[in-house]
Amino acid sequence: MGRWPAGAQERLQEAAIELFTERGYERTTVAEIAKRAGLTERTFYNHFADKREVLFPDQDRFIAEIREAVGAAPAEQSPLDAVLAAFTATSDWFDQRRDASQRRRHILDAHTDLRERERAKMAALGEAIADALRTRGIYDPAATLTATVSVAAYQLASARWLADPQHATLGHHLHTSFDDLHRTASTW
Amino acid sequence: MGRWPAGAQERLQEAAIELFTERGYERTTVAEIAKRAGLTERTFYNHFADKREVLFPDQDRFIAEIREAVGAAPAEQSPLDAVLAAFTATSDWFDQRRDASQRRRHILDAHTDLRERERAKMAALGEAIADALRTRGIYDPAATLTATVSVAAYQLASARWLADPQHATLGHHLHTSFDDLHRTASTW
């Protein structure tokens, strides 16, 4: 990554969220995002495949970290506890980016094609969790079902975190949401 | 629907699956699908918004039926049993279309944009189930979590049904998959 200016990805993402909020997602071009960040269009495309991807900047790394943490969790942890611990380990990073996450959420909610991309990312997250569960000796269908419901609990926690007027941490909302999942499963 | 030729939608879908299988999804045009079905391009667009939609011909009706059946299920049924009964009530319709469903599945699996569209349809199915559960006095987050896991169990059943060399019914695979879900949830 040495040939790119330090922090280029973060600057592009911040510029994109600013511009999408100011003048709308459709009306903002990649050239304008690059200009606002003080970078070239070419640098943008070195980091992101298209305009949509600038709103999912760290998803691959996030998914890789979750996969690794689930695989490395203590053997005595239940599948859901292992996934909860993996999500919780990444939650400080999100808490430091709460405002930008909130603006990003508003943009995603307003655009069908962005929500489609988000669903694809969440499906990839679920597949990574299912893979990691298989390395723990949990086989299908349990791996896929557990991974799918884990992603649903994660999305619930994330939505509550962004909507919370008290600004409780994402870690707090993760624990609450996984508790809700346990309670809900007992009614099935 | 009176002004359209009887069965136009079914003929267009059969023609599309034939052509997609013969020469590929990308290389088939809407005009060719209409011609193979003995209809006009205009009739195609009276039935389907775009080429992708011809592979999801009855999804709105299916989703509406599931929503209604979940809402109308006996009050004493558990949430998952109500959803299982709703899916089972539609399963004969699918069993009568097993071969076409299998060809359709191969086409979807080979194309990212079709799988994206399918994810959007499955998300809509989940939202309809969550709505119906709310009419039964099951509120969020339980409604959303239960709906999400129901859709996962349904997709599991559908995949097993299409892959089953014994050709057991979709109803059989629905029951097996929901049993697996209960067993899996007990390990969480």
pLDDT digits (tens, 9 = 90+) for A87-143: 999 999 999 989 989 999 999 999 988 998 899 999 999 999 999 999 999 999 999
Alpha carbons A153 and B68: distance in angstroms, whole number: 26
Using alpha carbons only, how large is chain B's radius of gyration in Å? 18
pLDDT value for A59: 87
Phi, psi (deg, nearest 5) at residue A134? -60, -35
Q: Looking at beta carbons, which residues of chain B come within 8 Å of A188?
A: 78-80, 146, 181-182, 185
Decide which of B140 and A4 is more confident.
B140
Contacts of B49 in chain A (CB under 8 A): none
- Mean pLDDT for B128-148 is 96
Q: Which residue of A has its CA nearest to B142?
A: A184
pLDDT number for residue B112: 86
Q: Taking the domain A57-187, which CATH number applies?
A: 1.10.357.10
- Ranges of CATH 1.10.10.60 domains, chain B: 8-53
pLDDT score recorded for residue B58: 82
| Interchain pair B156, A142: CB under 8 A | no
Whether B57 has a pLDDT exceeding 90, the answer reads: no
> What is the tens place of the pLDDT at every residue in A45-84?
999 999 999 999 888 889 999 999 999 999 999 999 999 9
A157 → chain B, closest CA residue: B141
* Residues from chain A contacting residue B146 (CB–CB below 8 Å): 184, 187-188
Comparing alpha-carbon positions, the chain B residue that sits nearest to A177 is B141
- Residue range(s) of every CATH 1.10.357.10 domain in chain B: 57-187
Higher per-residue pLDDT: B87 or A112 = B87
* Predicted pLDDT at B6: 58
Distance to chain A for B112, nearest Cα, Å:
10
For residues B100 and B17, the answer to whether their CB atoms sit within 8 Å is yes
What is the C-alpha separation between A124 and A186, in angstroms, rounded?
28
**Length reported for chain B:** 188
Of A56, A62, A81, give the one whose Cα is nearest residue A150. Answer: A81
pLDDT score for B48: 93
Split at pLDDT 50, 70, 90, the class of A6 is: low
* Mean pLDDT calculated for residue range A150-168: 96
Mean pLDDT computed over every residue of chain B: 93
Cα A35 from Cα A44, distance rounded (Å): 10
List all residues 6 or more positions away from A172 whose beta carbon is below 8 Å from its beta carbon: none
Longest dimension (CA), chain A: 55
CB contact at 8 A, A146 and B153 = no
**Where is B165: in which H helix or E strand?**
none
CA gap B162, B180 in Å, rounded: 18
Q: Which residue of B has its CA nearest to A142?
A: B184
Q: What is the dihedral of CA B131, B75, A181, B123, to 10 degrees?
A: -30
pLDDT for residue B10: 87
Report residue B146 CA to chain centroid gap. 18
Query: For the purposes of burial, counting CB atoms within 10 Å of the CB of A173, is it exposed (0-12), middle (13-18) or buried (19 or more)?
Result: buried
**Span A20-48, pLDDT tens digits:** 999 999 999 999 999 999 999 999 999 99
CB of A148 within 8 Å of a chain B CB? The answer is yes
Do A67 and A129 form a contact (C-beta atoms < 8 A)?
Answer: yes
With a pLDDT cut of 70, the percent of chain B lying above it is 97
Find the CB nearest A184 among B123, B141, B183: B141
Q: Check CB contact under 8 Å for B146 and A184.
A: yes
Residue range B18-55, pLDDT digits in tens: 999 999 999 999 999 999 999 999 999 999 999 999 99
Local structure of residue A138 (DSSP, 8 states):
-
Of A79, A142, A184, the CB nearest to B142: A184
Interchain contact, A152 vs B142, CB within 8 Å: no
Which of B116, B145, B184 is opposite residue A116, by nearest beta carbon?
Answer: B116
Long-range CB contacts (< 8 A, 24+ apart) of B89-96?
Answer: B89/B65, B90/B62, B90/B65, B90/B66, B91/B169, B91/B170, B91/B171, B91/B174, B92/B171, B94/B158, B94/B161, B94/B170, B95/B169, B95/B170, B95/B171
A125 alpha-carbon distance from chain centroid: 9
The pLDDT assigned to A171 comes to 98
| Residue B114 sits at the chain A interface (C-beta within 8 Å) | no
CATH classification for the domain delimited by A8-53, as one of 1.10.1200.10, 3.40.50.150, 1.10.10.60, 3.30.300.130: 1.10.10.60
* B12 neighbors B37 (Cβ within 8 angstroms): yes
User: In angstroms, rounded to a whole number, what is the distance separating the alpha carbons of residues B133 and B140?
Assistant: 9
Place of tokens 């076409």: B100
Which pLDDT band, with edges at 50, 70 and 90, does B65 fall under? Answer: very high
- Please report the ipTM that was assigned to this predicted complex: 0.86
The CA-based dihedral angle spanning residues B77, B81, B86, B87, taken in that order and rounded to the nearest 10 degrees: 180
Q: Which of A130, A124, A173, A128 is nearest to A153 (CA)?
A: A173
B184 and A152 within 8 Å at the Cβ level: the answer is no
Q: How far is CA A161 from CA A83, A170, B145, B146, in A?
A: 18, 5, 17, 21
pLDDT at B4 over 70: no
Confidence (pLDDT) at A58: 82
Q: Are the beta carbons of A181 and B145 separated by less than 8 Å?
A: yes
* Residue A144 · residue A83 · CB < 8 Å: no
Would you call B78 exposed, middle or buried from its count of C-beta atoms within 10 A (0-12, 13-18, 19+)? middle
